[in-house]
A and B are shown apart, each in its own frame.
Chain A
Amino acid sequence: MDCKKRAGLYLLRKKGKAISIFLLIMVVSTFLISCFSLLTASEKLASDIRGALGAAFYLRASTGVVSDENGEMTVTENHIRITDNEIKRIQNCGNIAYYNPINYGYAKGGQLTFIHGEKHTEDNNMGAVTALRYSALETDFVDEVLALAAGRHITEADTNAVLISSEVAAVNGLSVGDKIVLSSSELGEADGEYMDVWPGERKETVVTIVGIYDILEADANVTATAGRQENRIYASIDVLTQLAASEPSVYTGEVGFYVTDPKTLDEIVFKVQQIDEIDWKTHFIRTNDFQYSKISDSLTSLGDLIKILLACVSIVSAAILTLILTLRIRGRIPEAGILLGAGIPKGEIIKQFLLEVLSVAATAFLFSYAAGFGISHNLGHHLLADFWPNLINAAALQNGMSDAVSIDSYLTLGIGKTLLIYGCQLIVVVLSVLLSSASILKLKPREILTKMS
C-alpha cells in the first residue's frame, strides 16, 4: 500500500481530525484573503485617488474690484468669469484628466419648504444652489463638513440632478429618486428684510434627487433661509443654466483642474500660466494637496489597522496551526513505529503526513477563496464606501462612461497575491509537518516501538 492510499484512507476514516484541520486552515486562509483583499483595495484606492485628485490646480477669477474712495472701501462686481474657452485652452496644455467648474445661484422649490432662517418669509423661502460637474469634489464634501447619506453623488454625466440635505428631505418627505420643481430666484436685501429680487421671467425645471447629504459640521451663523447649510442644493451644472441663473459655459466659482500624473503638476501649471489669452491680472491659480491628504489619511489609517490585524492574526494562526499539527503528528508516533517496523522508509512516512495535510489545505483554500471573496466584498463596501465617490468621478470621466468602475474590482485579489498567500500558508504547513516529523523520525525504530509499549 503506497503513501497516497494510506493518506487517503486516513482522511476518509479520521474525518473528525481531517475536518478540524480543514476548518482551522479555512478560517485562517479566509481571514488572510479578506484582509489582504481589503489592504490591497485600500492601497490601490489611495493610489488611484492620488492619481485622480491628488494633484490639482484651481483657477479663480476675481469677481469684484475693491476701490478706496475717501477712506471708504467699496467692492464692485466686475463680471469677470471663467469661460469654457479658457478651460479649453488650459486643457490643451495636456495631462489634465478632468475639470470641475462651479456656478452659484438660488432657487425656490414650488411646494418645497426650506428650513427657516433669520427673518424667514414666504418670499425668501429659497436655497442656495451650487451647480457643478462632480459634487464629490466640492470642498465641503472633501473636508467632511458634509457627507453623502443616501443615493449617490452628481457626476459629469448627470442632468437635472440634485443633492439635498437630509433635513430638507425630512421636512418635505422626500427621498432619493423623487422629482421636485425648482424655479429661478435671487436673494436680495432691502430695509433689513431678505427678499426674492429675481429680475426677469421666472424659469422652472424638474430635477431628480439623486442623493441626500448629512451635515457633519454645522455652521452656527445666524443667516437668511437661503444662507442656511441645510438649504443648500448641489445640482448638475445644467440646472442653473436652465433656470437662467447662470450663462452657459461661463462659471462664477473656482474651476478645479485635476492632472493625470501628480508629478507633472508644477510643469502643467507653468504651461498654463504662459497662456496669453487669459488675463492673469484678474485670474489666479492655486495648487494644493489637501483634498488628497484628507482622503489618504483615512485610507492610510484603515490600511495601517488592517496591517496590524494581519500581522497579529498571521503570527497567532501560524503558531496555532504549527502547534496543532505538531501535536497531531506526535500522536502518530505508534503509527510511524509500525510503518518503520514494516520496513517503510522514513521519507515515505513523512510524505504520507504531508499528503494528508496538503490535501486538506488545498480543499480549504478553495473554500476560503469563495468565503474570503464574500467577506472582503461585504466589508469592503462598508469600509471603502466613504472614499468611493472620489473615485467614481475620476473613473467615470477617465473611462468616458457615466457609471464608475465597480468597487468589486478593487476588492478582487489578483491571482498572484492569492497564490502568494496560499504559498506562505503551505510553507507554514510543510514546515510544521517536517519539524514535528523530525522529532519522531530522528528516533530509531526501536526507540519508537519501546515508547509505544
Chain B
Amino acid sequence: MSIMEIKGVRYSYDNKKNVLKGVSAELDAGKMYAILGPSGCGKTTLLSLLGGLDSPLEGQILFDGQDIEITGLAAHRKNNVAFIFQSYNLIDYLTPKENVALTSKLPPQPILERVGLTEEESKRNVLKLSGGQQQRVAIARALASDAKVILADELTGNLDEDTAAEITKILRECAYQMNKCVVIVTHSNELAKQADVILKLRKGELQIADTPDTDTRKGRKN
C-alpha cells in the first residue's frame, strides 16, 4: 500500500488558470521520487500540497489512506512530513544541533554525524557553515523529525556539483535504509536520474516519465 496518494488534485492561484489539473499519483515508502519540470510548471505547488502547506481546490491528498485535510494540516506537517528547502531554511540563532532538535527529541549528534557533520561543526552558528554543510543540517533536521515522507525543493540548487551529488546520495540512502519516501522537486535531469521514479509535470498534468529498476539501483549504490 502506498504511503501517500494524490487524487485528482486541482490548484489555481487565481481560480482561472489551473496550475495543477486533476493530478493523481501514488508514492511508496523506501523510494525516491523526482518531480521534474520547467520553471513555473507547479512543481513546488504540488510539493506544498503534499506537505500540507496549502490545500488543493479540488481532490484529496491521502497519507496512510487518511485525507490530510481531515487529520489536520498542522498535524500532518508535524508528524508525517519533513521539508528540505533550497535556501536551507535554518534558524540563524540556533546551532546545527539546536536546529535539528527543533523537530525531534532524539539526540541530534548521531543524526548530524550521519549526514557528515562533526561534533565541532554541530556547535557552530549555522551561518558560519558552508552551503553544503547547511543543507546537511537541513537534511538532518528532516531525518530527525521521524517523518515518513521527506519533501525536498530544489535542494541542490545552491550547491556545487560534488556537494549536490553527496547530498542526493544521503537522501537516497535515507529512502532505502530508513524506509522513507523521499520526494525531490528539481529541474535538473541529472539529479532526477538518481531517483527511483521520475514524475514529469507539464501543463498542469503529471506523468510517470521513467521508472528505473529500483533493485538494480539499490544494488549498484549499496
Chain A partners chain B: yes
Q: Are A342 and B101 in contact (CB under 8 A)?
A: no
A343 touches B103 (CB 8 A): yes
Question: Which chain A residues lie closer than 8 Å to B94 at the CB level?
Answer: 6, 9, 13
Instruction: Decide: A341 and B89 in contact? CB cutoff 8 A.
Output: yes
Q: Decide: A445 and B89 in contact? CB cutoff 8 A.
A: no
From 105 to 138 in chain B, residues with beta carbon under 8 angstroms from any chain A beta carbon are 125
- Residue-wise, chain B 65-105 has the 8 Å CB interface mask toward A (1 for contact) of 00000000011111100110111011101100010011100
**Contacting residues, chain A, for B90 (C-beta < 8 A):** 338
Q: Is A70 in contact with chain B by the CB < 8 A criterion?
A: no
Q: Is B18 an interface residue (CB 8 A)?
A: no
B53 within 8 Å of A (CB atoms): yes
The closest CB in chain A to the CB of B75 belongs to A343
**A343 near B74: Cβ-Cβ < 8 Å:** yes
Q: Are B89 and A337 in contact (CB under 8 A)?
A: yes
Residue A341 contacts which of B75, B83, B101, B125 (CB distance < 8 angstroms)?
Answer: B83
**CA of A342 to CA of B141, assembled, Å:** 9
- When distances are taken between beta carbons in the complex, the residues of chain A under 8 Å from B85 are 341, 449, 453
Any chain A CB within 8 A of the CB of B51? yes
Residue A452 is within 8 A (CB to CB) of chain B in the complex: yes
Known: A13-B93, A452-B87. A342 touches B53 (CB 8 A): no
Contact in complex: A345, B74 (CB < 8 Å): yes
- Cβ of A251 to closest chain B Cβ, rounded Å: 78
For B77, give its contact among A1, A13, A14, A343 (CB under 8 Å): A343
Verify B89–A1 contact, CB threshold 8 A. no
| B48 cross-chain contacts in A, Cβ below 8 A | 446, 449
User: What 1/0 mask marks residues of chain A from 414 to 453 whose CB sits below 8 Å from any chain B CB?
Assistant: 0000000000000000000000000000001110010011
Question: Could you tell me which residues of chain A, from 245 to 298, have a CB within 8 Å of some CB in chain B?
Answer: none
Give chain A residues whose Cβ lies under 8 Å from the Cβ of B78.
342-344
B54 on interface, CB distance cutoff 8 Å: yes
Check if A444 sits within 8 Å of B53, measured CB to CB: yes
Whether a CB of chain B sits under 8 angstroms from the CB of A334 is: yes
Given A9-B93, A342-B77, answer yes or no on A453-B103 (Cβ-Cβ < 8 Å). no
**Chain A residues within 8 Å of B54, by CB:** 444-446
Query: Roughly how many angstroms separate A445 CA and B83 CA in the complex, as a whole number?
Result: 12
Say whether, besides A334-B89, A449-B85, A452-B89, A341 and B102 are in contact (CB < 8 Å): no
A4 → chain B closest CB, angstroms: 14
Contacting pair B86 A342 (CB below 8 A): no
Say if the beta carbon of B145 comes within 8 Å of chain A. Answer: yes
With A444-B54, A453-B85, A453-B86 as given contacts, are A335 and B77 in contact (CB-CB < 8 Å)?
A: no
**CB closest chain-A residue, reference B86:** A453
8 Å CB contacts to B: which residues of A320-368?
334-335, 337-345
The verdict on A104 contacting chain B, using a C-beta distance below 8 Å, is no
How far, in Å, is A333 (CB) from chain B's closest CB?
12
Among A9, A334, A446, which residue has the most Cβ atoms of chain B within 10 A? A446
Closest to A10 in B: B93
* Cβ 8 A contact of B98, one of A1, A334, A445: A1
Closest residue of chain B to A445, judged by CB?
B53
A345 to chain B, nearest CB (A): 6
B98–A9 CB distance below 8 A: yes
The digit string for A4-27, where 1 denotes a CB below 8 A from any CB of B, is: 001001100110000000000000
- A340-B87 in contact (CB<8A): no
A445 to B51, CA, bound (A): 10
Q: Is B87 a contact partner of A453 (Cβ separation < 8 A)?
A: yes
Please judge, given known A-B contacts A449-B85, A453-B86, whether A339 and B102 are in contact too, CB under 8 Å.
yes
**Cβ contact within 8 Å between A1 and B145:** no
Instruction: Point out which of B86, B102, B145 has the most chain A C-beta atoms below 10 A from its C-beta.
Output: B102
Which residue of chain B has the shortest Cβ distance to A13 in the bound complex?
A: B93
B141: A residues at CB distance < 8 A = 342
List residues of chain B with CB within 8 A of the CB of A338: 89-91
What's the nearest-Cβ distance from chain B to residue A14, in Å? 5
**Distance in Å: Cβ of B78 to nearest Cβ of chain A:** 3
Q: How many angstroms from the CA of A13 to the CA of B53 in the assembled complex?
A: 29
For the complex, give the distance between the alpha carbons of A446 and B54 in Å: 6
Q: Which residue of A lies closest to B104 (CB)?
A: A1
Q: Tell me, in angstroms, the Cα distance from A380 to B75 when the chains sit together.
A: 58
- Could you jot down 23 A-B contacts, CB within 8 Å? A1-B101, A1-B102, A6-B94, A6-B102, A9-B93, A9-B94, A9-B98, A13-B94, A13-B125, A337-B89, A339-B91, A339-B102, A340-B77, A341-B51, A341-B53, A341-B83, A343-B77, A345-B74, A444-B53, A445-B77, A446-B53, A449-B85, A452-B87
Which residues of B are in contact with A by a Cβ distance under 8 Å? 48, 51, 53-54, 74-79, 82-83, 85-87, 89-91, 93-94, 98, 101-103, 125, 141, 145
Nearest 8 interchain pairs by C-beta: A343-B78, A446-B53, A343-B77, A13-B93, A446-B54, A446-B48, A445-B53, A338-B89
| A9-B93, A343-B145, A344-B102 known, 17 other contacts, Cβ within 8 Å | A6-B102, A9-B94, A13-B125, A338-B89, A338-B91, A339-B102, A340-B77, A341-B83, A342-B102, A342-B103, A342-B141, A343-B75, A343-B77, A345-B74, A444-B54, A446-B48, A453-B87
